[in-house]
Structure 1
Amino acid sequence: MVLSKSLGPECSSSPSFSRFTPHATHPQDIICLAPIEQRAQSLLSYTIDLVKPISPIYSPLSFAILQEMASTQDSPLPPLEQTDSRPATDIEKAASMSIASKEDIAPYVEQRQAEEAKDVASFRGKLAAFTIRLSRYGVETRGVVPTTLEARTDTRIWNLFFLWMSANFNILAFSTGSLGPAIFALGLKESILIILFINMLSAMLPAYFSTFGSRLGMRQMIMSRYSFGYYGNIIPTLLNLITITGFLILNLILGGETLAAVSGNKPDLDDGLSWDVGIAIVGVAALLVTFCGYKVLYAYERFAWIPIVMVYIVALGCGGKHLTNMPPVIPASSVTVLCFTASIAGYLISWSTLASDYTIYLSPSAPAAKVFAFAYAGFFIPNTICEMIGAAFAVSMFEPKNSAWIDGYRVNNVGGLLDEVMRPAGGFGKFCIVLLALSCIAASSQCMYSFCVSFQCLAPFFARVPRYIYSVVAIAISIPLAMVGAHRYYTSLISFTGVIGYWAAAWASIVLVEHVVFRKSYKAYDAAAWDTSSSLPTGISALAAFAVSFALIVPSMNQVWFQGPIGRSAGDVGFEVAFGLAGLLYAGFRFVETKVFGAGKV
């Protein structure tokens, strides 16, 4: 649709204002406004008529903004993208820039009041009005539309370190580190070496993908469309939703079990806080943070790590004298080493699929090296410390003199273990355990936030639903599943961290090859094509590489529920195969694709 035709023939020759619409694929699809003072009324009328059929949910929202503008003395029309969780069209943006006072729009507001009154009284209208009110209180209403250069003004790169510090300095990382001695029968030395070196390598991927947000202003799953295509990207987006939900469930389980351990809960006695109630408490607390959005999330995560660091220091003070290096029952083998490696790597690599969600407001002038460094430190430092502490306490609980530790572990998993470790501190120790349980809120909040964003990336219809509604959906799904999965926590943790590493490694390799080999620069991404399927790659190459790589990944798996022939004899090497093979296949397939369809595809 060409706006210049609607505004008159004289518009097409004017140099006053022109830009391509987000869906424009040809030079003739240009919005031209000239002269502005003569065309403003026609433009506004056209905008109001256009908005309603495009989105039945947001028609009342768009009109309500115009109506509010008409009643405000000498107030310019606010940019629609700041109060709308769907992508604002260039027509709407043009209207916001070209109309300066209430006199310009008052006649049109009056003209449409009778018709809009019905919508305002409906559910759609109430939702739109509620969204406007929330935005006034600072609740983020932006969806998945890429942020403009004007919106990317944040220069506080160091905040990125604290964000990931809070998300990873928690009891889930402690639990992941404890897998080495507790499940795979590894000694302390083997566990610490694996944790150190695997984290050093794995943290590079999410840290590198963090740099894309400030350069492109795109959510991670939107950026993925430039490799997988518009429709092909639905598959990794669905997998990402499953991964995020899994992490959210694990955090809720750990937080709930730890709260139950503090209250003196015993499975055979009904004398304390149940796991289910603890799970609900952690879930609702995380929902409050996520509902408000980006700014509140960053404000909370900036400080959430501080009490958790103090808790771990207290835990080492209480239990440090009881730490011992118990020799493993059986010598370490390639199978146990590689299976533990897969769990550690899968836990960290999976952050890659949502890393840029938290850098879209950073200034494009922020040095990429600094963004990478702060993100890398935020991933590597807390995970390595927490996992090493978890491994140390897990090894020591097998010491006969620490029998109370293993009893607590058997009753309430790592929450029970830490409760016994902190018992010498009395009431203060209980308080510290509560803080440790609440550390799951930080990670759960980020999981829920990216769940909302990923859901909006599935299809245009989902993008029209406000982001904050999906946070309620996420917690409604996760709390019941966490209550069910709490009784098989370690089995769930091992299976989950291993499996997510397979697809996340394959996805990361494909997107990395696309950027490094084929695009070579951030300038090679056409941000205006983010929601135009005809301008994006077909996705055939990415989907083919992704699917074919699993032909070798499956035989390389070694999980509780499945062991492939390679994985059974050598150990779980699925994520290594996924990362290497998917990238190589994609490079070949993409080269052929560019020859067949042309290199013009963005």
Structure 2
Amino acid sequence: MEKDTDMEKAPSSPVVQDIAEAQTEAYQTPGFTRKHPFLQRLASWGVELHGVTPVPVEDRTSTRYINIFFVWFTMSINLLPIVTGMVGTLGFGMSLRDTSLLILFFSLFCTIFPAYFCTLGARTGLRQMLHARYTFGYYLVSIVVLLNLATIGGFGVIDAVVGGSTLSAVSNGNVNDTVGIVIITILALLVSFAGYKALHQYERYAWLPALIAIIIATGCGGKHLSHQVETEPPAASLIISFGGVIAGYMIPWAAMASDFAVYCHPSVSTARIFWYSYAGLLVPSVLLMILGAAIGGAAPNVPSWSDGYDRYSAGGVLEAMLKPAGGFGKFVAVILAFSLLGNIAATMYSVTLNCQLLIPVLVRVPRAAFAVLYTAVCIPLSIYAAKNFFDSLENFIYVIAYWSADFVAVVSIEHFVFRRADCATYDLAIWDVPRKLPSGIAAMAACALSFALIVPCMGQVWYTGPLAEKAGDIGFEVGLCLSAVLYLPFRWAEIRYRKQL
């Protein structure tokens, strides 16, 4: 990337020097990515060839740090958080007040993890799943990568379903869900294919039309939002269960967070990247989830909204809200559908990086090739998920929360306890040297054993554990705490045995 000339010059610091010394000449781009004529042609078109390998200091020159805020902001200012908020009132049957309070308080806590993990990208030059090798090891990280692919890929499926159903609703069914899904997914491929720089440029501006469209939709349907369905006070188990949904929405972003900051100059303060990330993710997510909760609570009492939901799921409700605006309303609904491109493109970008780590030899395959592969997989999965969307969304987000809670717990303990939050301890020269990386046994054992207690705490439509029957779905809370507690002695024993981090 070229250094931004309209921002302040990044100062030199001991942190920069330490990291530069850690990389020295050991960093090399594997494979043929910079030599093949076809890939050189792609590079001349602006396609990012650098894959999941560490980004050396000399390439981390961007000082336009505000782009980090816009990436998270654009990823969040779309229909996905609206749909997630609808789950609280329309799926769980809670009141708007209770749903809103849960959204606020759980989001305030859960956003801490992706915001802090994003800072690690600028300070180490490591993509998030490559950074995970320093906790889960060279080989066992593949299990985490596989889970993460299912997670972020699954979010892409949800985005495609919502966008496709919205386009179908706008066309009164002339464009069916399948065609809408294909359109949304192909457009996202075009954004993500070029890589980091193109993604940042797109995300910097794409939030504006999305925000305007959401404001217009809220204005058109706002008079009905007060027509909330009467509900009973929620049981404690229901409150905890919906809190898990919010955690399942917020925390998984931590598993891709540093991907968006690896080209930032490492002299940037941790606080700056943290607060850009925290605000960019929290503010739009909370506001739009609360808006979604209001829409979900009113939908059964508004015939046109209810009919739209029955016919086209969430997209039908939003299209019905815009009907008073006539043809202009349909235009706005199309913009709302396309607002999901920022989210899908960002997740698709992380998917391409994750694929390179799934099996070590895949690091030699160009990153952009996996964008095409993911698109080919995402389209049929989205078409299938569209058949029973809300049930799929609720169960999917729950399952995400279980593994992602374990992931952020053990990676956080590794970073703050065993590495004393010192990024210089991540020796970038050993990123592909299995014997010098942690074995990963301690991390995987902590995660695996925590599931022994998570399972009886699970509350799913297909399984409800004995503890969940009494206390609600507390699998997220159990996973977060228990995996952290287990990792401490396991990792301590591993370090004593191997005599190295």
Is this contact kept in 2: 1:206–1:355, CA < 8 A? yes
Rounded to whole Å, the distance in 1 between the matches of 2:76 and 2:228 is 27
Partner of 2:494: 593
Structure 1 position 327, deviation (Å): 4.8
Alignment-derived partner of residue 13 in structure 2: none
Work out the CA distance in 2 between the residues paired with 1:294 and 1:326: 43
How many residue pairs get matched? 478
Question: Does residue 509 in structure 1 map to residue 409 in structure 2?
Answer: yes
Distance 1:444 1:21 in 2: 34
| Identity among equivalent pairs (%) | 42
Aligned-CA RMSD value: 1.5
Deviations 1:274-293 (A, max 9, x none): 10000000000000011111
Alpha-carbon offset, residue 348 of structure 1: 0.8
> Residue 398 of structure 1 aligns to a residue in which SS?
helix
Are the counterparts in 2 of residues 555 and 565 from structure 1 also a CA contact under 8 Å? yes
1:129 aligns with 2:49: no
Contact 2:27 2:54 in 1 (8 A): no
**Cα offset for 1:22?**
5.0
- 1:321 corresponds in structure 2 to 223
1:303 aligns with 2:205: yes
Tell me the equivalent position of 1:350.
252
Task: Pick one of 218, 223, 234 that aligns with 1:332.
Answer: 234
Matched, 1:219 2:127: yes
Aligned amino acid, residue 498 of structure 2: F
Change (3 A) 1:19 1:488: closer
Alignment of structure 1 residues 422-501 onto 2, 5 Å: 422-501=322-401
Structure 2: distance between partners of 1:566 and 1:334: 13
Q: 1:20 to 1:157 in 2, by over 3 A?
A: closer
Give the direction of change, closer, same or farther, for the CA distance of 1:446–1:19 in structure 2 (3 Å limit). closer
Matched, 1:263 2:171: yes
Distance 2:25 2:323 in 1: 65
Q: Report matched runs for 1:7-26 at 5 Å.
A: 21=26
User: What is the identity, as a one-letter code, of the residue corresponding to 2:265?
Assistant: S
**Residue of structure 2 equivalent to 1:107:** none
Please give the alpha-carbon distance, in whole angstroms, between the structure 2 residues aligned to 1:282 and 1:19: 43
CA distance in 2, matches of 1:368, 1:205: 13
Mapped to 2, the partners of 1:425 and 1:158 lie a distance apart of 35
- The 2-side partners of 1:391 and 1:182 are apart by 8
Q: What is the CA distance between 1:410 and its match in structure 2?
A: 1.1
Asked if residue 534 in structure 1 is aligned to residue 446 in structure 2, the reply is no
Indicate if the aligned counterparts of 2:229 and 2:298 stay in contact, CA closer than 8 A. Answer: no
Which amino acid letter does the alignment assign opposite residue 361 of structure 1? Y
Q: Does 1:341 align with 2:243?
A: yes
Residues of 1 paired with 2:270 and 2:230: CA distance?
A: 44
What is the CA–CA distance in structure 1 between the aligned matches of 2:195 and 2:151, rounded to whole Å? 20
Cα contact 2:140–2:444 (8 A) shared by 1 = yes
| Residue number in structure 1 paired with 2:4 | none
Give 1:325 deviation, angstroms: 5.3
Q: What amino acid is the match of 1:385?
A: L
Aligned equivalent of 2:63: 155
Instruction: Indicate the SS of the match to 1:397.
Output: helix
Query: What is the CA distance between 1:446 and its match in structure 2?
Result: 0.9
Which of the residues 87, 99, 104 maps onto 1:179?
Answer: 87
Secondary structure of 1:392 counterpart: helix
SS at match of 1:240: helix
Q: Deviations along 1:379-405, whole A, 9 cap, x unmatched? A: 101110110110111111232xx2111
What's the CA shift for 1:538? 1.1
Distance 2:111 2:53 in 1: 27
- Which one is further off, 205-214 or 439-448? 439-448
Instruction: Give, in whole Å, the separation in 2 of the partners of 1:20 and 1:220.
Output: 22
The 3 A distance-change label for structure 1 pair 310 and 19 is closer
Q: Does 1:548 align with 2:449?
A: yes
| C-alpha separation in 2, matches of 1:237 and 1:261 | 36
- Alignment partners' CA distance in 2, 1:483 and 1:206: 29
Q: Following TM superposition, by how much is the alpha carbon of 1:460 offset from its aligned partner in structure 2, in angstroms?
A: 2.9
Q: Which has the higher contact order (CA 8 A, sep 6+)?
A: 2
Residue 561 (str. 1) matches residue 462 (str. 2): yes
Counterpart Cα distance in 1 of 2:176 and 2:299: 24
Measure how far apart 1:21 and its partner are.
Answer: 3.5
Distance in 1 (CA, whole Å) between partners of 2:25 and 2:436 is: 14
Confirm whether residue 380 of structure 1 aligns to residue 288 of structure 2: no
1:579 to 459, 468, 480: 480
Measure how far apart 1:162 and its partner are: 0.7
State the secondary structure of the residue aligned to 2:462.
coil
Query: Which contiguous aligned blocks of 4+ residues in structure 1 show a shift greater than 4 angstroms?
Result: none
Relative distance call for 1:537 and 1:187 in structure 2 (3 A) is same
Contact 2:159 2:343 in 1 (8 A): yes
Correspondence for 1:245 among 139, 147, 153: 153
Counterpart of 1:318, as a letter, is C
What is the letter of the counterpart of residue 198 of structure 2? V
Does structure 2 conserve the Cα–Cα contact (< 8 Å) formed by 1:168 and 1:382? yes
Offset, 1:229 = 0.8
Distance in 2, matches of 1:330 and 1:438, equals 37
Output the CA distance in 2 between the equivalents of 1:293 and 1:517.
Answer: 34
Shift of 1:329: 3.5
CA apart distance, 1:330: 3.2
Whole-angstrom distance in 1 between the partners of 2:168 and 2:290: 24
Give the counterpart letter for 2:279 in structure 1: A
CA contact (8 A) 1:350 1:504 kept: yes
User: Could you report, residue by residue, the CA deviation over 1:195-242 in whole angstroms, capped at 9, with x for unpaired residues?
Assistant: 111111111100000000011000000000111111111110111111
1:101-124 CA distance string (max 9 Å, x none): xxxxxxxxxxxxxxxxxxxxxxxx
| Aligned residue number for residue 142 of structure 2 | 234
The question of whether the paired residues in 1 share the 8 Å contact of 2:229 and 2:300 is answered with no
Q: What SS is found at the alignment partner of 2:50?
A: coil
Instruction: Give the Cα separation in 2 of the matches to 1:576 and 1:237.
Output: 22
TM-score (norm 1): 0.78
Q: TM-score, normalised by structure 2?
A: 0.93
- Any stretches of 5+ residues in structure 1 without a counterpart? 1-17, 24-50, 62-82, 85-127, 266-271
In structure 2, distance between residues paired with 1:571 and 1:19: 52
Task: Determine if the alignment matches structure 1 residue 209 to structure 2 residue 209.
Answer: no
Q: Tell whether the 8 Å contact from 1:185 to 1:328 is kept in structure 2 after alignment.
A: no
Are the equivalent residues in 2 in contact too, given 1:188–1:325 (CA < 8 A)?
no
The structure with the largest alpha-carbon Rg is 1
